Amino acid sequence: MRVLAIDYGDRRIGLAVSDPTGLICGEAWTMEEWDMERASLRISQAARERGAERLILGLPKNMDGSEGPRAEKSRALRELLLRDSGLPVLLWDERRSSIEAHAILHANGKREKNHRKSVDAVAASLILEGYLGSL
């Protein structure tokens, strides 16, 4: 089963899709979109184009497990994605995904100022890998 993972941000959205067997990350990219309604439509289109059967949306939680305004936005996007994609949308605890993504980019020699271009895609791939590993 092909799965699409989403790291939602106000400006940039990281996306990562699994291979057809649902074992590993096959592709990761970023999408720039400021409007949540348009983001939902664009993500839904990307899911259709890639044959995704399930969406995994990062749910940002505080380190103590509580939820703040970012989590509320993810829950609102989930409702839009359910409507627009017609696919199941699972929320996935994404604590530390962005921190780990920055660390991965740094360890691979990427300059800090260039992280913005790819950190969201790496974070989405970490969300995807976490979900696939749990199956």
Report the number of distinct structural domains present in the chain: 1
CB-count burial class (<10 Å; 0-12, 13-18, 19+) for 49: exposed
Which residue is associated with the tokens 């979900």?
131
Give the list of residues 6+ apart from residue 133 with CB closer than 8 angstroms, or none: none
Q: What is the CATH number of the domain that holds 92?
A: 3.30.420.140
Amino acid present at 63 = M
pLDDT score of 24: 87
pLDDT score of 84: 98
More confident residue, 129 or 89: 89
List pLDDT tens digits, range 62-119. 778 777 888 999 999 999 999 999 999 999 988 666 666 555 556 655 555 555 667 7
CB-CB contact of 85 with 44 (8 Å): yes
List pLDDT tens digits, range 16-75. 999 998 888 889 999 999 999 999 999 999 999 999 999 999 998 877 877 788 899 999
Amino acid present at 116 = R
Which residue is associated with the tokens 């106000």?
10
3-state secondary structure 39-58: HHHHHHHHHHHHCCCEEEEE
More confident residue, 107 or 135: 135
pLDDT score of 119: 76
Range of the domain at 15: 3-134
Write down how long the chain is.
135
